[in-house]
Chain A
């Protein structure tokens, strides 16, 4: 608990950290409280299409008369859920693969590194189109795609740490005492790898949010009637002659979400892993 408080204090010690934390909290509240204060995001009311912001609809309505506050909130919730899910899955899988490669060395290490290189060789959008062509559109495809893209990043980080740890004397000593390798990994490797992985994960959250919005904007992400910040921006852009607020509202939310997560990630890096702060 004291560690969490210390981290929070560290984050709040600088202006960027405070701003990042505030934006992130704001977005979280917006995403979570949306269903409490706004109607079903998918209810269509064509008579109320393009209604201006007002008491009935705080952010107005879209081209089908759907409440924009509800849809923007749902889109934010969707983006955050996906981002957290992807970052957690890819960090866990990537860390484990990286640690195994770092400890094992030899051909295992070379094989894992080669696979990481192959995945990294594909630009994410091209890889996205290929996977969508193979498996179709939808959230599951998106999670699979971005997880695959992010695993090498976490894997490389964990591998580098594991290689450093492998030759340290306390690890050597544990090995000499015939401690089970899994125990060594759990007791020494994971705690040492966790810090930089958490920092990397927090830095990747805004990337996933923006990537999801980009794919949805292009029509390859979330499918109707679900909303996403990308589809909201696109639909708003298409109808910009009728009303500008759908585009502005959803773009603003996207900007705050990514900016908040980025600033928070940077602050977290400074606190948890000061050695790499400022390194990109």
Chain B
């Protein structure tokens, strides 16, 4: 094919080329509904068996809870509940607003739906299997229905955590009994709610679309007709997409802070994190069962180099499980600065040689950088690491069906809530085979966890959680890396909203700036 270049063609081509750089800006500027990036896909939409924050964020916007977090705060106000009355430390009466309709034609919400939703945490799912997030509602003894819209929450013991991490959060989502019974196992992929938004579309590993729920009767109507969430596991990729105006909101990695600050029409959000990333060591696995090997690994890994190399020095090093600012933060926790002599002495004492372990992590750039630094560090004391980088779907599937039993060393990023019991619950013996990937079993830790749940006195709770972290430290099963720092960029016209942790996004409160 021959191309004829005449004056007209040249002018048309030149004009098109000149317009091209502005086309994407025009497209972004013309958007009325935001497109945002999430680093993990939806795994399980059953509130009690959700996998991570993606589902939690969706569930909170699609379902109603008795009380809902206020925009950007950990305080709450009534949502599905018209009124909640505290009768005693262990008894609460609630009355629902009438006319709150479930989507999909599943009818009006009643007190029986509340009982059904919460009973699943007490009795397990339809097969009697314990829900993954059952401990969020640990304090709940029963729910009594006293009328169409009224009922009582009966607690086993006074609880400071129940409202904060249970009833107010995704675990407290009120489901339709009729819908759950009809959907069966499909509840993992279908979300029926009565909240401000509906899950209009979900294309796995690609995107989901949340749309405003036209039938929502409550006070928190969604500000956008639609919010599209693109699944982009790699922050660096989503940041590039943001720069190309394909996105309006995304998290980004610390090493791109300077670039983000220089972007036009962009707001940069920088939040100290309360999450916790650590290298978990499976105490039940072969040579790792020897505490001296675990201690040697802890002395050999250079966490400061990890902070510098993998996180660009933009976040600080974690000393312990609970982040500064949270109840129970162990400020005096020991800091293990790399000491090869100690590591080698411990390995010699253990008599183990030619050690080879698998280091499992997510396949994002930061996790791979952590893995490679740990690999280089441990090679210096004669421990060979094979890196097993997994995509997020396969990685988080390790939290079910005892799939974690063969893990050895694992880089684990968990998100936090504002009550310490949420963090400590993942280290309980009952979580082995689920989310306790260290396989660590301490009856004393479990007992203290229970005490922490049942204690209301703040000072006593603080002492309990510090004791628990000391036990974790003695086990040498966790090498704490960082509590993270959350960075986000958003286009100037968008006002995102999230809880102070930075990870719990409130799609229903996303608004135009």
A interface residues (Cβ-Cβ under 8 A, vs B): 42-44, 46-47, 49, 63-65, 219, 223-225, 235, 238-242
* Chain B residues with CB below 8 A from A224, complex form: 368, 371-372, 375, 387, 389
Given contacts A44-B305, A46-B309, A219-B363, contact A238 B372 (CB under 8 A): no
The CA-CA distance from A46 to B372 in the complex, in Å, is: 11
Q: Identify which of residues 233-288 in chain B touch chain A, using a CB-to-CB cut-off of 8 Å.
A: 234, 236-237, 239-240, 255-256, 259
Cα separation A209 to B389 with both chains bound (whole Å): 23
Chain A residue at smallest Cβ distance from B234: A238
The complex places the Cα of A49 from the Cα of B305 at a distance, in Å, of 11
Check A44–B373 contact: CB distance below 8 A.
Answer: yes
Our count of residue pairs bridging A and B at CB distance below 8 angstroms stands at: 52
B355 part of interface (Cβ distance < 8 Å): no
- B365 contacts A63, C-beta separation under 8 Å: yes
Other-chain contact of B389, A63, A64, A219, A242 (Cβ < 8 Å):
A219
Q: Given the known A-B contacts A46-B308, A47-B308, A64-B373, are A242 and B363 also in contact in the complex, defined by CB atoms under 8 Å?
A: no
Which 5 A/B pairs are nearest by Cβ-Cβ distance?
Answer: A46-B309, A238-B236, A46-B308, A44-B376, A241-B259
Q: Is B369 an interface residue (CB 8 A)?
A: yes
Chain A residues touching B, majority SS: loop
B376 engages A43 (CB within 8 Å) = yes
CB distance from B272 to the nearest CB of A (A): 22
Chain B's closest residue to A235 (CB) is: B365
Taking A63-B365, A63-B369, A223-B386 as contacts, is the C-beta distance between A44 and B259 under 8 angstroms?
A: no
8 A–B pairs (Cβ distance < 8 Å), ordered by A: A44-B376, A46-B305, A219-B389, A223-B387, A223-B389, A224-B368, A238-B234, A241-B259
The interface residues of chain A lying within 8 Å CB-to-CB of B236 are 238-239
Docked pose: A64 CA to B306 CA in angstroms: 9
> Complex: how many Å from CA A240 to CA B308?
18
- 4 additional A-B pairs beyond A44-B376, A46-B308, beta carbons within 8 Å, are A44-B305, A223-B386, A225-B376, A239-B236
The answer to whether B375 and A63 touch across the interface, beta carbons within 8 angstroms, is no
Interface residues of B (CB under 8 A from A): 234, 236-237, 239-240, 255-256, 259, 305, 308-309, 363, 365, 368-369, 371-373, 375-376, 386-387, 389
Kindly report which residue of chain A lies nearest to residue B376, judged by CB atoms: A44
Collect the chain A residues with CB atoms within 8 Å of residue B240's CB.
Answer: 240
Is A46 a contact partner of B373 (Cβ separation < 8 A)?
yes
Query: Are B309 and A44 in touch, CB under 8 angstroms?
Result: yes
- A228 CB to closest chain B CB (Å) equals 14
Within the complex, the shortest CB–CB distance from B463 to chain A, in Å, comes to: 38
Please tell me if the beta carbons of A238 and B237 are within 8 angstroms of each other in the complex.
yes
Residues of B within 8 A of A235 (CB): 365
Contact residues in B for A43 (Cβ distance below 8 Å):
376
CA distance A62 to B255 in the complex (A): 13
What residues on B are CB-neighbors of A239 within 8 Å?
236, 255, 365
Q: Is B373 in contact with A242, judged by CB distance below 8 angstroms?
A: no
> Shortest CB–CB separation between residue A211 and chain B, in angstroms?
20
Option from A64, A219, A223 in Cβ contact (under 8 Å) with B309: A64
B302 (CB) vs chain A CBs: closest residue: A46
Asked if B363 and A64 sit within 8 Å, CB to CB, the answer is no
Which chain A residues lie closer than 8 Å to B371 at the CB level? 224
Query: B373 contacts which chain A residues (CB < 8 A)?
Result: 44, 46, 64
Write the chain A residue with the least CB distance to B258: A241
Distance in Å from the Cβ of A231 to the closest Cβ of chain B? 9
Query: How far does the Cβ of A94 sit from chain B's closest Cβ, in whole Å?
Result: 33
Contact partners of B376 in chain A: CB under 8 A: 42-44, 225
A64 touches B365 (CB 8 A): no
CA distance A157 to B375 in the complex (A): 46
Chain B's nearest CB lies how many Å from the CB of A61?
Answer: 11
